[in-house]
Amino acid sequence: MLSLHQNKKITSPVITALLVGLLSSFAFGSTPEERGLEIAIEVDKRDNGYNDSTSTLEMILGNKYGESTTRTMRNKTLEQPDDGDKSQITFDNPRDVKGTSFLSYTHKKGSDDQWLYLPGLKRVKRISSSNKSGPFMGSEFAFEDISSQEVEKYTYKYLKEETLNGRDTYVLERDPVDPKSGYTKQNVWIDKERYIAMKIDFYDRKSSLLKTLTITDYKQYLDKFWRADKWEMVNHQTGKTTILNYSKWNFKTGLKDKHFTKNSLKRSR
Amino acid sequence: VKKSIVFSTLLLAGVYSFASEITGYIGLEGRGFLDNPIHENQKNNSLSTSLSLEYFHDFEDDNERIVATGYARKDSSTDGRDHFDISELYWWKGYDDFELYIGVRKVFWGVTETSHLVDVINSSDSVENIDGEDKLGQPMVSLLYEQDWGTVELFSLTGFREPTYLGANDRLRSELIVEKDLTTYESSQEEKHIDFAARYSHVLGDLDLGLIYFNGTSREAEYNKKSVEGKDVLAAHYNQVEIFGTDIQLTKGDYLWKLEATHTKPKSDSSYFSQVGGLEYTFVGLANSDADLGIFMEYQFDERDHAFGQNDLALGTRLVLNDTQSTEFIGAVTQDLDNKTKFISLEATRRLTDTWSIESELRVFTSVDSDDSLYDLREDDYLQVLFKRYF
């Protein structure tokens, strides 16, 4: 590569073009793995600094006969400086699980910590996080799909560029690091301009296409953070669907660590 | 100006709708007993209705809360189970460094499935169920202090709530019925004795640790046979006790390791040790389905010969279908290791609609030894179905 710079016969526009090419290939990593990782890091970096957020969530479960049931819940999340997010989900509907709350500490490395609050018994139960491949509340979302997406949870490979719904995207393959994951790989379409995921294909343990998640209706908050109002998961093997409709997003509401403890979990309503 | 007032009122109403709410359920419960009763006037079937009403209100930027919960049951065939209880009626305030509770509360402590040794704050609402999980509201003043090194809770328990007792016509009762008028206390202040309790708890990675202390009126009675107008009855006596205890859960991959242990020192009797501990393993995504199958084992030990779980082994399984209706089954067999007594319990729950759910349980007592603490229940195997309508 150095020899290129020493070849004086090359005209300057060519050198510039080569340099740009060199720099950009350097900026995006020289191997597909490095380039994939750098895109994932950029996605993560652009979403840093929201501190905390709250939102409400409607979950519509549909079966292949077109019947559907709806659940509602509230969500709050707290960023951690050197680790994965802390988050809590509280159910409002169906009524038999009203007040039931799920607290989770995501870790960049190792398994997450999870507790469940059962309001009828006033009991907080620590639950195993090795259920990550299991369905969340009977939906097509697994626990690992709704938990905080830390860079360290996957290894990456840059695949190609593609246009999706009129937007330029990078397509990455990411492979879960945790052997407990229900997936062998995921293909992620990332918007080139905004660095947000627009679509994810999930491949099961036999490497067959299992589910597709389409994320739409993004809105920008505080001139920085993109949040999608609609997440639609389709299970290709069962024909079932789950739609998540987010609303009432709030950021920097002043939540602290003390709002994400076993004690505060007992007070959730 | 008017528009903005209307708007802000609407906004306030919108905010308030979340900060204040009345909820609850009506329960319709049917019980069928599989054997003929031992005692006269006991019936083979019963139908009963229960109502739970809960109100809460948050104010002062969610730093203060008032909670009120009432519970009532009306049984068709007997009157021993009819009762009303104020389960909760308290005011909570969160300060910068600590939290304060004043009023009637329910507090659950513990980690194990088949016995609840460290759950010592509330008295049992025994007429509800024999599993000891139903409790009466306990009046208290309590302080909670949460730091990086753990959480400390201090309780001043202002008065003892006497447990409920089943009546002569109720199934699942003891051989002799408890005559409430004969209840005695070790303390001269009787049920007005103010008890003290404390708990330290902390999460250390995979480990959830709790240490408990209790000093006051025992929530467990000592029963003495007495004769009233030529009829034998039981009189409950409540001792003063000091309890040191611990509850520990280690969550490692698919394994949960659990332990509860207590050392109880009655004021005027010899002390004794009790423990329950074991493990649970979960097969996640059983046979490539969405279902999880858990198997658990718990060993119960008590130094007192006639205590429940004095030397018993419980084996159980939990099947969670993870379907839209949240269908779950839990079954356990508890075997007394000193005699042949077996206690079998099966529970199933399923959501029917957004507002209705069904819970059922089957409880069987077999090969009950005449020396065993379950002997009085030997003919009381039953199947219960409970429909709940939430509102």
Give one DSSP letter per residue of chain A, joined into a string. Answer: -HHHHH-TTS-HHHHHHHHHHHHHHHHT-SSHHHHHHHHHHHHHHHTTT--EEEEEEEEEEE-TTS-EEEEEEEEEEE--SSSPPEEEEEEEESGGGTT-EEEEE--SSSPPEEEEEETTTTEEEEE-GGGTTSBSTTSS-BHHHHS---GGGEEEEEEEEEEETTEEEEEEEEEESSTT-S-SEEEEEEETTT--EEEEEEE-TTS-EEEEEEEEEEEEETTTEEEEEEEEEEETTT--EEEEEEEEEEE-----GGGSSHHHHHT--
Q: With an 8 Å Cβ cutoff, are B144 and A261 in contact?
A: no
Read off the pLDDT of residues B325-360 as tens digits, 9 standing for 90 and up. 999 999 999 999 999 899 999 999 999 999 999 999
pLDDT of residue A3: 41
CA distance B356 to B234: 40
Other Cβ atoms less than 10 A from the Cβ of A109: the count is: 11
Q: Count of A–B CB contacts within 8 Å?
A: 91
Shortest distance between the Cα of B249 and any Cα of chain A, in A, equals 8
Mutate to test the interface with A, among B56, B284, B347 (most CBs of A within 10 A): B284
Residue with the two structure tokens 């400390």: B152
**Which residues from B are below 8 Å from A121, CB to CB?**
108, 133
Read off the pLDDT of residues A32-55 as tens digits, 9 standing for 90 and up. 999 999 999 999 999 999 999 999
Task: Find the mean pLDDT for residues B202-218.
Answer: 97
Read off the pLDDT of residues B51-78 as tens digits, 9 standing for 90 and up. 999 999 999 988 999 999 999 999 987 7
Task: Give buried/exposed letters for A131-159 (b at 16+ CB in 10 A, else e).
Answer: bbbbbbbbbbbbbbbbbbbbbebbebbbb
Closest residue to A126, CB basis, from B92, B249, B326: B249
pLDDT band at B102 (very low <50, low <70, confident <90, very high): very high
Task: Find the mean pLDDT for residues B28-36.
Answer: 96
Mutate to test the interface with B, among A96, A109, A235, A240 (most CBs of B within 10 A): A96
Reported pTM: 0.90
Q: Is the peptide bond before A94 cis (omega within 30 degrees of 0)?
A: yes
Read off the pLDDT of residues A70-105 as tens digits, 9 standing for 90 and up. 999 999 999 998 899 999 999 999 999 999 999 999
Mutate to test the interface with A, among B112, B324, B352 (most CBs of A within 10 A): B324
Q: With an 8 Å Cβ cutoff, are B251 and A69 in contact?
A: no
| Statement: residue B17 has pLDDT above 70 | no
| Statement: residue A12 has pLDDT above 90 | no
Q: With an 8 Å Cβ cutoff, are B146 and A95 in contact?
A: no
pLDDT band at B18 (very low <50, low <70, confident <90, very high): low
Task: Check if A180 contacts B (Cβ < 8 Å).
Answer: yes
Asked if B89 and B103 touch (Cβ cutoff 8 Å), the reply is: yes
Residue of A nearest to B15 (CA): A248
- Which positions 101-120 of A are in contact with B (Cβ < 8 Å)? 111, 113
pLDDT band at B10 (very low <50, low <70, confident <90, very high): very low
Task: Find the mean pLDDT for residues A15-22.
Answer: 52
**Which residues from A are below 8 Å from B285, CB to CB?**
133-134, 182
Task: Check if A54 contacts B (Cβ < 8 Å).
Answer: no
Q: With an 8 Å Cβ cutoff, are A123 and B324 in contact?
A: no
Residue of A nearest to B135 (CA): A121
**How far lies A64's CA from each of A72, A238, A258, B184, in Å?**
21, 7, 43, 64
| Statement: residue B185 has pLDDT above 80 | yes
Q: Which two tokens stand for residue B201?
A: 């708890």
Shortest distance between the Cα of A173 and any Cα of chain B, in A, equals 24
Shortest distance between the Cα of B318 and any Cα of chain A, in A, equals 14
Nearest to A77 by CA among A57, A105, A101: A105
pLDDT of residue B46: 93
| Statement: residue B254 has pLDDT above 70 | yes
- Which positions 334-353 of B are in contact with A (Cβ < 8 Å)? 351, 353
- Which positions 192-211 of B are in contact with A (Cβ < 8 Å)? 201, 203, 205-206, 208
Task: Find the mean pLDDT for residues A250-268.
Answer: 94
Asked if A182 and A29 touch (Cβ cutoff 8 Å), the reply is: no
Asked if B102 and B141 touch (Cβ cutoff 8 Å), the reply is: yes
Q: With an 8 Å Cβ cutoff, are B203 and A98 in contact?
A: no
Q: With an 8 Å Cβ cutoff, are B203 and A262 in contact?
A: yes
Task: Find the mean pLDDT for residues B121-129.
Answer: 95
**Which residues from B are below 8 Å from A64, CB to CB?**
none
Q: Could you tell me the domains of chain A?
A: 45-266 (2.50.20.10)
pLDDT of residue B97: 87
Shortest distance between the Cα of B108 and any Cα of chain A, in A, equals 6
Closest residue to B23, CB basis, from A94, A98, A111: A98
| Statement: residue A131 has pLDDT above 90 | no
Task: Check if B292 contacts A (Cβ < 8 Å).
Answer: yes
Task: Check if B112 contacts A (Cβ < 8 Å).
Answer: no
pLDDT of residue A217: 96
Residue of A nearest to B206 (CA): A113
Name the percent of chain A lying above pLDDT 90. Answer: 79
Dihedral sign computed on CA atoms, order B289, B291, B278, B147: positive
CA distance A141 to A143: 7
What's the length of chain B? 391
pLDDT band at A25 (very low <50, low <70, confident <90, very high): very low
pLDDT of residue B146: 94
pLDDT band at A59 (very low <50, low <70, confident <90, very high): very high
* Helix or strand holding residue B19 (H, E): helix B2-19
Q: With an 8 Å Cβ cutoff, are A134 and B285 in contact?
A: yes
Give one DSSP letter per residue of B269-320, joined into a string. Answer: S--EEEEEEEEEEEETTGGGSS-EEEEEEEEEEESSTTSTTSEEEEEEEEEE
pLDDT of residue B16: 42
Provide the CA A191 distance to its chain's centre, in angstroms.
14
Residue of A nearest to B286 (CA): A134
Mean pLDDT of chain B: 92
Residue with the two structure tokens 């905004």: A194
Name the percent of chain B lying above pLDDT 70. Answer: 95
Task: Check if B14 contacts A (Cβ < 8 Å).
Answer: no
Residue with the two structure tokens 């329960």: B27
Residue of B nearest to A127 (CA): B251
Q: With an 8 Å Cβ cutoff, are B249 and A131 in contact?
A: no
Find all residues with CB under 8 Å of B324, minimum gap 6, and list them: A61, A63, A69, A138, B351
Return the amino acid letter for A211.
K
Closest residue to A138, CB basis, from B23, B249, B326: B326
Could you report the predicted ipTM of this complex, rounded to two decimals? Answer: 0.91
What's the length of chain A? 269
| Statement: residue B80 has pLDDT above 60 | yes
pLDDT of residue A28: 55
Residue with the two structure tokens 């130094």: B303
Mutate to test the interface with B, among A70, A128, A237 (most CBs of B within 10 A): A128
| Statement: residue B106 has pLDDT above 50 | yes
Read off the pLDDT of residues B134-178 as tens digits, 9 standing for 90 and up. 999 999 999 999 999 999 999 999 999 999 999 999 999 999 999
Shortest distance between the Cα of A20 and any Cα of chain B, in A, equals 48
Q: Which residues are paired to A162 by β-bridges? A: A169
Q: Which two tokens stand for residue B10?
A: 């609407």
- Which positions 148-187 of B are in contact with A (Cβ < 8 Å)? 151
pLDDT of residue A13: 53
